[in-house]
Amino acid sequence: MSDKKTAIPSLQVVTSPISQLIGASPVLPGESEEVYQYGLVATVQELGAITPLQIYLAEKIHECLWWMRRYENQKRATLIRNMAELLDPQHFGRDVSDVEAWAMDALFANRLDDAFIKVLKKHNLTVESLNQKALESNQDVLESLDQMIALKAKTLAGFQASYEVLVNRKVNAERMRLQNALMQRDLSAIENEAVNEQSSKSSKATGE
Amino acid sequence: MSSPVSPQRRQANRRNALWSTGPKSDAGKKRSAANALSHGLSAPIELQSTDPLLIAISNCIDQEVQESHIAREIARRIFDYERNLAYQREIFVRQFNLLSTNAGKETGVRALFGAELDMMDDYLEEQRIFKRPIAKKDHSFVSNTKHKMLKLWSKVDAREQGERAKQEGNSVRYLKRASNQLIKVLKALKAA
């Protein structure tokens, strides 16, 4: 029997020299370093970043996307936690009760089976009303998370524009050099005209 | 389009501003320089041109930027942005830890009044061991004291939460500023 090996894409870690110098890890506890690196490699390849500053900016672009995903996950987790709390109103305190843990498991896995519906009915709730109640009680938190996402989106746009500037810099420099040359030529042409006019006038004057 | 502020108004503002230019004495200047130094995120970075980190980052981008003073400025902005971003990560992890730990009322009260609670518990335990009856006034004293402790803890907790929220709000502002400054200095390369 021949062993068929599936092709696993090798993870080539990309880190800009600038990030190596700063040495901060962008991944928080509980997040996958591998998933982050795959995303980063894809971003760097897609943008075609080569120089240290370009790779650094590509990293920052990817990090902004990562933060946005992180905030989205936190929004979901906040909602689910509150929904679970609503299903166990007898329990007080910040620790997680058994019912809450079970409800959180079911909601994270999106497993709305008969047992879950039964618990919902016990509290005179539906999935929609439970969701609405959780949204209502966590409005402040969700709003602040949305603001953070908006800030990251703005920063992302800024980094993308900076990246474009950096990549197109050589083209711009060449364009400006050509424009300068053109202006110089025009100026010299004007100067020549003026000089010619003056010289013709002076020659006429001397001729008279 | 006319300017929203008239030249007369602007001049008057400038004149009035001379009356309120902050502290004048050395001691006053020193004191106000230490305002809001709880996190230091808004403080200007004291990176000297001989700082090894600044030099290393500058060297990394020097060839690309072609002007050493611009490279140094970018390095400074990168450092500032990274410092603010690291603080954001710290806040995020702290929030996560606060949610996952069982920091209930009882734990909070015990953290504040551990010794007093132990004394009261010891007294009650002693009375129980020696089978002495606990007076009604002692019972009410213990319950009243615990109630007062809880109220005090709630105040401290609310204050701490307020401080934390304020600090987090400020840190977002500083991050926004740092990222804007970095983007601005990078975009300025276009004209360079």
pLDDT at B154: 78
Sign (positive or negative) of CA dihedral B167, B169, B171, B174: negative
| Chain A with chain B: Cβ pairs closer than 8 A | 82
Give residue A6's pLDDT band: very low, low, confident or very high (50, 70, 90): very low
Give residue A8's pLDDT band: very low, low, confident or very high (50, 70, 90): very low
pLDDT at A4: 46
| Mean pLDDT calculated for residue range B51-76 | 86
Is residue A200 situated within a structural domain? Answer: no
* Per-range mean pLDDT, top range of A25-29, B41-45, B52-56, B178-182: B178-182
Is A24 close to B85, i.e. CB distance below 8 A?
Answer: yes
Rounded to an integer, what distance in angstroms lies between the CA atom of residue B27 and that of residue B95?
Answer: 38
In a mutational test of the B interface, the residue from A16, A19, A20, A22 whose CB has the highest number of chain B CBs within 10 Å is A22
pLDDT at A129: 92
Query: Into how many domains does chain A fold?
Result: 1
Q: In chain B, where are the structural domains located? A: 46-190
Is B104 close to A155, i.e. CB distance below 8 A?
Answer: no
Q: pLDDT tens for residues B87-102?
A: 998 888 877 665 555 4
| Mean pLDDT calculated for residue range A30-52 | 89
What is the value of pTM for the model shown?
0.66
Rounded to an integer, what distance in angstroms lies between the CA atom of residue A146 and that of residue A137?
Answer: 16
Using the predicted structure, report yes or no on whether residue B124 has a pLDDT greater than 90: no
Q: pLDDT tens for residues B149-177?
A: 878 877 887 888 888 888 888 889 999 99
Distances from the Cα of A25 to the Cαs of A15, A33, A117, B6, B22, in angstroms?
11, 9, 42, 52, 41
Q: pLDDT tens for residues A145-190?
A: 999 999 999 999 999 999 988 888 767 667 777 888 888 787 776 6
Determine contact, residues A92/B101, Cβ cutoff 8 Å: no
Distances from the Cα of A149 to the Cαs of A71, A78, A103, A144, B83, in angstroms?
7, 15, 27, 9, 20
Is residue A118 situated within a structural domain? Answer: yes
With beta carbons under 8 A apart, name residues in chain A contacting B109: none
* Per-range mean pLDDT, top range of A109-123, B24-38, B108-122: A109-123
| Mean pLDDT calculated for residue range A75-79 | 91
- Domain span including residue A127: 17-185
With beta carbons under 8 A apart, name residues in chain A contacting B180: 158
Mean pLDDT of chain A: 81
Is B60 close to A29, i.e. CB distance below 8 A?
Answer: no
pLDDT at A132: 92
- The partner residue sitting opposite B183, judged by closest CB among A22, A70, A162, is A162
Rounded to an integer, what distance in angstroms lies between the CA atom of residue A137 and that of residue A125?
Answer: 16
With beta carbons under 8 A apart, name residues in chain B contacting A53: 60-61, 64-65, 74
Is B64 close to A57, i.e. CB distance below 8 A?
Answer: no
Asked if the interface predicted TM-score (ipTM) of this complex is over 0.90, the answer is no
pLDDT at A181: 83
| Mean pLDDT calculated for residue range A17-41 | 87
Rounded to an integer, what distance in angstroms lies between the CA atom of residue B83 and that of residue B88?
Answer: 9
% of chain A with per-residue pLDDT over 90: 30
Q: Which residue has the higher pLDDT, A73 or A16?
A: A73
Residues in chain B: 192
Instruction: Name the minimum distance, in Å, from the CA of B63 to any CA of chain A.
Output: 9
Is B99 close to A21, i.e. CB distance below 8 A?
Answer: no
